[in-house]
Amino acid sequence: MKQCQFSDDGVATCQRSLDPRDSPRTLTINQLLLESRVGLERVHASDLEREMAAGALVVDTRPVDQRDRDGDLPGAVVIDRNVLEWRLDPSSPHRLSIFDDPARRIVVVCNEGYSSSLAAHTLQRLGLTRATDLIGGFQAWAALRKQSD
């Protein structure tokens, strides 16, 4: 919210308030997460292999330290979270050449399934309407894999 003061000659000097409570549409992270998930057809770890077989692009956004610690997600394309939108936006000159179909299913995978929901929602807002994420993230997939071993 902007706060403005007017001088005697009518000139306004405005500053944006840094207090988030002053914004008319401020959300908590949990509210934002719930709002982001409303339009997602989230994928269960047990269905990830089937999604891949059907042609989904699986994108691992985990940081390198998590991938080094926990391992890779076979068949996934690694895209750092901080450049995800630029790499997948159909209008971006920085788009990856492997992603050439805006109607393609995209399954974003983070470590536990939180930041991936926010990322998938953002991708949908860019027109990638079939973007979604993996419930429980990599950790859910790894736990399921351990059960089957």
User: What b/e string do you get for 72-101 counting C-beta neighbours within 10 Å, with b at 16 or more?
Assistant: ebeebbebebeebbebbbeeeeeeeeebee
- How far apart CA 44 and CA 23 sit, in angstroms, is 36
Question: How many C-beta atoms surround the C-beta of residue 44 within 10 A?
Answer: 14
Q: Is residue 5 a contact partner of residue 13, using CB atoms and an 8 Å limit?
A: yes
The Cα-based distances of 105 to 3, 11, 46, 62 in angstroms read: 44, 52, 17, 19
pTM of the model: 0.82
The pLDDT of residue 89 is 94
Q: Is residue 124 a contact partner of residue 39, using CB atoms and an 8 Å limit?
A: yes
Q: Comparing 2 with 145, which gets the higher pLDDT?
A: 145
- Provide the residue count of the chain: 149
The pLDDT of residue 23 is 60
Q: Give the mean model confidence (pLDDT) for residues 100-108.
A: 92
Q: Comparing 72 with 15, which gets the higher pLDDT?
A: 72
The answer on pLDDT for 121 being more than 60 is yes
